[in-house]
Amino acid sequence: MPLNEPETSLISRRSLLRGGLSLTAAAGAGPLLSACSGGSGSSDGVAADGTVTITMWHGQADQGKATLDKLVADFQRRNRKIKVNASSGGVLADSMLQKITTALSSGQYPDIAYIFGPDIASVARSPQVAHLGKFTKEPSLRWDDFYPAARDAVTVDGEARGFPALVDNLCVAYNKKVFKAAGVPEPTASWSWDDFVATARSLTNPSQGVFGTGWPADGGEDCVWRIYPMIWDAGGDIVNKDGTKVAFDGDSGLQALTTINQLGKDKSVYPDTKPGSETMYQIFSNNKMGMVATGPWQLPDFVDNKTEYGVVPLPTYNGNPVTIAGPDTWTVFDNGSARVEAAVKFLTFLTNGAQDVQWASQAGSLPLRNSTAESAGWRKHVSSTTGLDVFSQALGYARTRPTIPTYPKISQPLGQAIVKMLLDKATPQDALDEAVQTANAALATG
């Protein structure tokens, strides 16, 4: 599943109540439950014959689940002494954070869970999240073989707390039909944000309902992460070194917001106010949108819809290529050293060579390891999908969001600023000032 764009998860009131109920039941009944299971001695997961049983909540359905089941079976064949209980955990990856939060407070948690990149720092505040520092130093793990963006995503306060699960990044997909109809030349690899804005403007045709580009406008993470490459490029950052203040308060934030505001003013952007950003991609696929910043997960859909598309890297301000990687993690939880060790062994297998290729191909993501990217298997896969090579190359210079627990408190106000720009409801300076003030106030209170 594409993991950066939050799917329109159909949370009904019932599931909120269920969430709230498990939230309350978790701590209410949690002590009781753990008291019940405490006596059985099952918690160390080691059977008399030395078999270690570990539990994995992967939050995957359909294709993702099928691939994982296969990989788990492969692993079982080679490792008789480790038994992996892999299940979705009863939720899709979207709701895993909620699920794991309640699981942690009840004291009954799995050994491995699929946690989104921006959430790992919040989860890792829990003492139950394993410290993997001593494992990642082992040469046999080849930790440095993981892409920097993938490594950074699982590293909190300098120590790995899980394994990279999936990595992707943002490039620009463009619709060849729309460009042709508008008589606009197709974009090239080295282009600027000014080019992007101008191209979007000349592609836009209100009478035919054609937009130059699209941007999620629900203020959620899928709306926010698209601005960071612009901020980095303009010399800013998300937070300062010690995490006490935002670092996009100066010209960098202003420049990025001004660019987005120009799109809003020109009405060349389709602001997708619906959660999930699906409409935006549908419009693109239906030849009513010229360009969209997206990740590799969207390519299979374009292929299925027979959209004639091409992919170029993100535009820049200064000519230095930069993009954002949206990695997700296999966060490891501490249920005793035997189980942590087994989990590390399993995850090492899962993220290695052939398995990495299989997993990345089906998820529509990118290889986690440098060595995988150079493998014959991956090269074959890349050549079968238009544009995938551009994403694969961009991984070399991709950066990630900081793994700090206060991140959501920065993301939410910045999201509101971006929506204001897209709907042209404020000046870039006012929107920036308000976002900076709100985020800094939240960071100050911790």
Partner 1 sequence: MKRLFGETPDAWGFVLPSVVIILGLSIVPMIWSLILSMQSSDLVTPARWLGLTNYRVLSHDPAFRAAVIHTLVYTVLFVPLSIAGGLGLALMLNRRIRFIGLYRTMVFVPFVISAAAQGVLFSFIFDAHFGIANAILSWFGVGPQGFFADSNQALLLLVLIGLWSGLGFCVVVYLAGLQDIQQELLEAAAIDGARAWGTFRYVVWPALRPVTIFLAIWETLQALQLFDLVFVTTRGGPLESTTVIVFFVWNQAFQLFNAGYGAAAAYVLAFTLLIVSIGLRFARRNQTEEVGG
Nearer to partner 1 among residue 64 and residue 271 (C-beta): 271
CB of 109 to partner 1, least distance (A): 11
Nearer to partner 1 among residue 192 and residue 273 (C-beta): 273
Instruction: Write b or e for each residue in 163-185: b if 16 or more Cβ atoms lie within 10 A of its Cβ, otherwise e.
Output: bbbbbbbbbbbbbeebbeebebe
Nearer to partner 1 among residue 163 and residue 407 (C-beta): 407
Give Dmax (Cα) for the chain.
Answer: 73
Q: Who's near 49: CB < 8 A, 6+ residues apart?
A: none
CB of 122 to partner 1, least distance (A): 5
Q: How many angstroms separate the CA atoms of 40 and 47, rounded?
A: 12
Residue 58 to residues 55, 224, 394, 398, Cα–Cα distance (Å): 10, 25, 27, 25
Q: How many angstroms separate the CA atoms of 285 and 294, rounded?
A: 13
Residue 206 has what DSSP assignment? Answer: G
CB of 102 to partner 1, least distance (A): 7
Instruction: Write b or e for each residue in 266-295: b if 16 or more Cβ atoms lie within 10 A of its Cβ, otherwise e.
Output: bebbbbbeebbbeebbebbbebbbbbbbbb
Nearer to partner 1 among residue 104 and residue 366 (C-beta): 104
- Report the interhelical angle of 407-422 vs 428-445 (nearest 10°): 170
CB of 130 to partner 1, least distance (A): 14
CB of 17 to partner 1, least distance (A): 9
CB of 157 to partner 1, least distance (A): 14
- Report the interhelical angle of 353-363 vs 337-350 (nearest 10°): 70
Backbone phi, then psi, for 336, in 5-degree steps?
A: 100, 150
Q: Which residues bind partner 1 (CB under 8 A)?
A: 8, 10-13, 16, 19-21, 23-29, 97-98, 101-102, 104-105, 122-123, 125-127, 209, 211, 217-220, 270-271, 273-275, 279, 283, 288, 405, 408-409, 412, 416, 419-420, 423, 425
Q: How many angstroms separate the CA atoms of 103 and 85, rounded?
A: 17
Q: How many angstroms separate the CA atoms of 165 and 359, rounded?
A: 9
Are the C-beta atoms of residues 301 and 284 closer than 8 Å to each other? no
CB of 274 to partner 1, least distance (A): 5
Only one residue has tokens 């937070």, namely: 239
Nearer to partner 1 among residue 235 and residue 408 (C-beta): 408
Structure tokens at 40: 């059985």
CB of 24 to partner 1, least distance (A): 3
Nearer to partner 1 among residue 377 and residue 408 (C-beta): 408
Nearer to partner 1 among residue 277 and residue 298 (C-beta): 277
Residue 313 has what DSSP assignment? Answer: P
Nearer to partner 1 among residue 279 and residue 385 (C-beta): 279
Amino acid at 130: A
Are the C-beta atoms of residues 277 and 162 closer than 8 Å to each other? no
Nearer to partner 1 among residue 24 and residue 383 (C-beta): 24
Structure tokens at 187: 């974009």
CB of 11 to partner 1, least distance (A): 5
Return the bridge partners of 84, or none: 54
- Hey, is 170 helix, strand or coil? coil
CB of 422 to partner 1, least distance (A): 9
Nearer to partner 1 among residue 98 and residue 362 (C-beta): 98
